[in-house]
Amino acid sequence: MHGLVGESPVQDAKREAILKHARTAFVTEGYAATRMEPIAREAGVSTATLYALFSGKAELYSAVIDAAGDDFARRMAHVRAIEGDAREALTSFAEAYADFMGDVFVRSIFRLVVAERPRFQAVASGLFEKGQAAIGATLIDTLKRLSEAGQIKPLEHPSWAAGQLVGMIEHPVFFVSLVTGEEIRIRRTRKQIVDDAVETFLARYGT
C-alpha cells in the first residue's frame, strides 16, 4: 500500500513498517488482544509517530486489511487463463487460482476478516469486492470467450458457471484449512484438485 499523498519517503517507510508488524499482530493475536505500543516498538517508531499516522487501532486495522487487499489484487493479476483450447485455458486459470487460495497468508487474512466482520463490515465487504473484481471478472471473460468460440456450451449465466469451477477449487484448498486449521491436510494433491475440477466442469459444459 502506498503512503498517503503528502507523506515524505521517511513517513512512508515508517507507515509500511507499522502495517507489516500490525498485520502480524492482528493475525496472531486477534483484534481485541492487539496493543498499539508493541506494534510501535517492533516497527522501530515511537508511539507518538504511530498515532500521528493512525488515529487508533480501528484505523490501523482497516489500513492493514486495505493493504492486504492491494497485495491480493497484485497477486491475483497473475491469475489469467492462457490462450488455447478450453482444457488448457481453464487448467491454467485453475492452477493459478489454487496456488493463490492455498497460500497460508491469504487464509490468515480471510480468517481475521471473518472473525472481525461484525465490527468492521465495510472493511470485509471491500476485501470481498476486490476479489470479485480481480478474479471473478477474469474467469467470466474467459468463459464467454470459450463459449463464443464454440469450445464450451452457450452459457446463459456465465457467473454461475464460474462459481461452480472456483467452488470445486476453493473447498479443498481454502475452506477446509480455513475452518479446521492449518494442521488439516487433504489427501489429494493440488494438481489432482485442479484436474478433477476442470474435468468435472468440462463434463457439464464441454461441447
- Nearest Cα to Cα of residue 178 among 73, 98, 101, 117: 101
Please check the confidence at residue 204 and state whether its pLDDT lies above 60.
Answer: yes
The reported pLDDT for the residue numbered 101 is 86
The reported pLDDT for the residue numbered 6 is 53
Mean pLDDT of 26-38: 95
Q: What is the pLDDT of residues 33-80, one digit of tens each?
A: 999 999 999 999 999 999 999 999 999 999 999 988 888 877 777 767
Q: What is the pLDDT of residues 70-116, one digit of tens each?
A: 888 777 777 676 778 999 999 999 998 898 888 888 888 888 998 99
The reported pLDDT for the residue numbered 175 is 82
Mean pLDDT of 181-204: 88
Secondary structure E strands in the chain: none
> From residue 95, how far is each of 54, 137, 176 by CA, in Å?
38, 17, 18
The reported pLDDT for the residue numbered 182 is 66
Please check the confidence at residue 2 and state whether its pLDDT lies above 60.
Answer: no
The reported pLDDT for the residue numbered 155 is 96
Q: What is the per-residue burial (b if ≥16 Cβ within 10 Å, else e) of 26-43?
A: bbeeebeebebeebbeeb
Please check the confidence at residue 207 and state whether its pLDDT lies above 80.
Answer: yes
- Rounded to 10 deg, the angle between the 9-29 and 57-76 helix axes is 100
Q: What is the pLDDT of residues 136-171, one digit of tens each?
A: 888 998 999 999 999 999 999 999 999 999 999 998
152: three-class secondary structure by DSSP: strand
The reported pLDDT for the residue numbered 184 is 66
